[in-house]
Amino acid sequence: MGEQTAFDFALSQLDTAAKILQLPENLLAQLRAPYRLLTVSIPVVMDNGTTKVFTGYRSQYNHARGPFKGGIRYHPQVNEDEVKALSFWMTMKCAVVNLPLGGGKGGIIVNPKELSADELERLSRGYVLQLYKYLGPDQDIPAPDVYTNSQIMAWMLDEYEKLVGHHAPGMITGKPLSLGGSAGRSFATAMGGVYVLEEVMAKLGKKPKNTTVAIQGFGNAGSFAAKLLFERGYKIVAVSDSQGGVYNIDGIDPVKAEGIKKQGGMLGCYCLGTVCSTEEMKNLDGPCHPVTNEELLELDVDVLIPAALENQITKENADRIKAPVILELANGPTTPDADPILFGKNVLVVPDILSNAGGVTVSYFEQVQNASNYYWTEAEVLIKLEKIMKDAFHAIWEMKERHQIPMRTAAFVVAIGRVAQAMKDRG
């Protein structure tokens, strides 16, 4: 058998929950493939005058509960299988938090760090030119994901509005505030995860003080999670980015870490000249060490937060995970063959489709604000986000307790039940 892919993993999660739900065969068959998968070529005139052709995808997985919804990823490893898996997880995520939205996901095979801002703008506009007929506030609403941000959303909105000839701010979320973005959207994924973690801590009778946290990934989710948890008194002992990471048992100030990253690019250099001296970096008996992304996952911490890419915790390393709680802010960081190992070790895995649903929840709020052309304060957004995240947490916790199943299975059972209900009601 060849190596299992992200979409194989997604289907195996679907099958596990479908069995528990005794889902009718016809519904299961429909849920095993995306409704529509679009592949496009995007020619971009590069700054040196040559033309490069990029491949882009949009997987529209299921729209029984509402328009397709999900981010667009710019990454060299983007591929059809990954986009399909991510769009399936978006469908599940929106249902877990009970949003009136379906699931989709897009991506472009590109390393955005190698493109100039002008090239990136032309690429983003090209993606919309190829796909705009399939997008729109009532059809499919993109958002940021790995290596995309509010500026890219702004270019995409502008291109879309030019093509359709009218304003349509609700066609994309994660926009800058100046173009109808929502207060709180930039840190919403992390904030949602923090609300969920607060409930987990209450269930376990633990306090933030002296709770050690390791975070893999320092992007849209991980960097904000580090800052929000630090502000709440958690002890952040390890952070990483794609280049590597740093571990400091005395604690890391994520704002300082971010400053170093912005100056020099790499968190692995965080120690140099800041809280850890160069001397300590040399002396591995000191409190501060460089760590690889793999080592970070196996650190002896209270809470592990994978906030980068999928397939990080697998059957190969699951047995070596020491954290009793894993809060998944990435999409698909744990493979299904790792789940039983973690469950057997009593590791509480708070699944991605719950713990990272804060981002799409505030995306939904953004759309609601766009549709009514009336904007909420950050405090209003956060009150609403907190309620949705905590209600979803308790519904899933209760299901997990009732059936003595992993939280992930409980979350999929809740989500698939809701999607299947909408499909049945449509006839």
Angle at 100 between CA 94 and CA 103, to 5 degrees: 45
Which is closer to ligand GLU, CB of 193 or CB of 208?
193
Residue 297 Cβ vs ligand GLU, minimum distance, rounded to whole Å: 20
3-state secondary structure of 405: coil
The 3-state DSSP composition of the chain as helix, strand, coil percent (nearest 5) reads 50, 15, 35
Q: Residue 321 has which token pair?
A: 């995970």
Residue 21 Cβ vs ligand GLU, minimum distance, rounded to whole Å: 24
Nearest residue to 151 (alpha-carbon basis) of 135, 171, 128, 174: 174
Site of interaction with ligand GLU (CB under 6 A) = 69-71, 143, 145, 173, 331, 356, 359-360, 363
153-192 CB burial, b ≥16 within 10 A, e <16: bbbbbebbbeeeeeebbbbbbbbeeebbbbbbbbbbbbbb
Catalytic option among 105, 175, 227, 400: 105
Residue 269 Cβ vs ligand GLU, minimum distance, rounded to whole Å: 28
Which is closer to ligand GLU, CB of 69 or CB of 122?
69
Which residue's Cβ has the minimum distance to ligand GLU?
A: 71
Which is closer to ligand GLU, CB of 290 or CB of 332?
332
C-alpha span between 278 and 288 (Å, rounded): 10
Residue 186 Cβ vs ligand GLU, minimum distance, rounded to whole Å: 11
C-alpha span between 154 and 37 (Å, rounded): 24
Catalytic, 203? Answer no
Angle at 27 between CA 26 and CA 29, to 5 degrees: 65
Which is closer to ligand GLU, CB of 106 or CB of 245?
106
Residue 69 Cβ vs ligand GLU, minimum distance, rounded to whole Å: 5
Nearest residue to 226 (alpha-carbon basis) of 292, 150, 303: 303
Which is closer to ligand GLU, CB of 240 or CB of 363?
363
378: phi > 0 → left, psi -120 to 50 → alpha, else beta; which? alpha
Q: Which residues are catalytic?
A: 105
